[in-house]
Chain A
Amino acid sequence: MNTDDLIRAMAADNRPEPGMRATLTRFLPPAVLAVAAGMLATLGIRPDVVAALPAIGMKLSITLSLFAPALVLAASGALFPTATFSGRALWIAPVLALGFALADLATNGLAGSLDRLMGTRASHCLALIPVLAALPLVAMIAAFRRGMPERPARTGALAGLAAAGIGASFYALNCAEDSPLFVGFWYSVASMMVAGAGAWIGGRVLRW
């Protein structure tokens, strides 16, 4: 099989696979909808949702500002030639979380801050954010496999952060821990777990 033979075989295979962008648009929304449906069917939304709107808003502002830049960065890194977006947008979420935490300390003081940070349901949070993030992560990795990521582990980690943003956004609708200290700490730990998983998977399956 010399190169000319290979060319003839390739020319016979004349239906190109859809690119990464088209695949992502096809895979990610159904994955998010499936998580939404599964979440409503099992965990449900917290009963005091109206009273808790400020807390939910605080959480969503953090989780969605993690999701959007991470997705844009992951997708642009999986395309070629790589569009250069600044990674600085990834700092929005941690800076917001830190801001809310400092505001909490300023209002409520240091006393009892460790209890507020530890909360009562940290393990619930650590387990459910990755569970809710899993399907979106799989959808993104599957789409990025059609792409051409120059740094597979990095793209996988960014996909993990974006997926964690989705998972944490849904979890925020159920989570009854409203201290910004809790959210800033445990949501971050859960997101780093998902990012780590994404980096590990990406390093293995996103090479091309």
Chain B
Amino acid sequence: MAENGSDVWGDWMRLALRGDAAAYRQLLHALTPALRALVRRAVSSAGSMADTEDIVQEILLAVHLKRGNWDQSLPFRPWVYGVARHKIIDAHRRRGRHVSMPIEDIEAMAGASVEVDHAPPGEAERWLNRLGPRDQAIVRGMAIEEHSAAEVGRRLDMQEGAVRVALHRALKKLAALALQEGR
């Protein structure tokens, strides 16, 4: 099972860092239910009402934007848990609570994945609404299955490369907006 094999995650990420989009998508899809389980336990043990899916989305964005920092000679799982822990603590801090969470606790909280039939919306929709219309169109366009940067570019009258650059910037802005929340 993928969720038990830290090496599988690491292997996918190594492929992804070499430009394998399919491996990357597989990795993100495998991470999500595991992160949901982790965040639910962390949130309930802190007695907080913070919304799980918001934090899951923030963790995924951070993994995405910071993945260049992962040392490929090290296992991937502890790195992801470190990112998750940082984001869980930060989410609580922004809601005015202080939680401390030793890294060992985070690893102990990782358990069975939580699968959901339909991924819940989370806050990404709200963050997205605060982007400019073109950025919104790019992120939404690329979120549609099998939509390529070339197609989105055609609709917006942009070069494919410019769409990719704008997509990357838009995702960075989403992460920054998430960070501002509740400050």
Contact = CB atoms under 8 A, between A and B. Distances in A.
Interface residues of A, number: 31
Contacts of A80: 66, 69, 79, 82-83, 86
Interface string B116-128: 0011111011001
A105 B69 CA distance: 49
B88 interface: no
Contacts, number: 125
B68 A6 contact: no
Given A7-B32, A148-B86, A14 B69 contact: no
Interface in A1-51: 1-22
B69 A7 contact: no
A3 B122 contact: yes
Interface stretch (B1-9, B41-49, B52-60): B52-60
A125 B122 CA distance: 53
B171 A11 contact: no
Given A16-B68, A19-B68, A207-B179, A11 B21 contact: yes
Contacts of B90: 207
- Counting contact residues on chain B (CB < 8 A from A), the size range is 35 or more
A147 interface: yes
Contacts of A17: 65, 68, 168
B139 A9 contact: yes
Contacts of B164: 12-13, 15
Contact of B145 (A8, A13, A18, A148): A8
B64 interface: yes
Given A1-B121, A1-B125, A15-B164, A6 B69 contact: no
A9 B143 CA distance: 5
Interface in B27-49: 28-29, 32
Given A2-B120, A4-B119, A16 B67 contact: yes
Given A1-B122, A1-B124, 6 more contacts: A6-B122, A7-B29, A12-B21, A12-B167, A16-B17, A19-B70
27 contacts: A1-B121, A1-B122, A1-B128, A2-B122, A3-B56, A3-B124, A5-B119, A8-B142, A9-B139, A9-B167, A10-B24, A11-B25, A11-B28, A12-B21, A12-B142, A12-B164, A15-B19, A15-B168, A21-B69, A80-B82, A81-B79, A81-B103, A148-B62, A148-B66, A148-B83, A207-B179, A208-B175
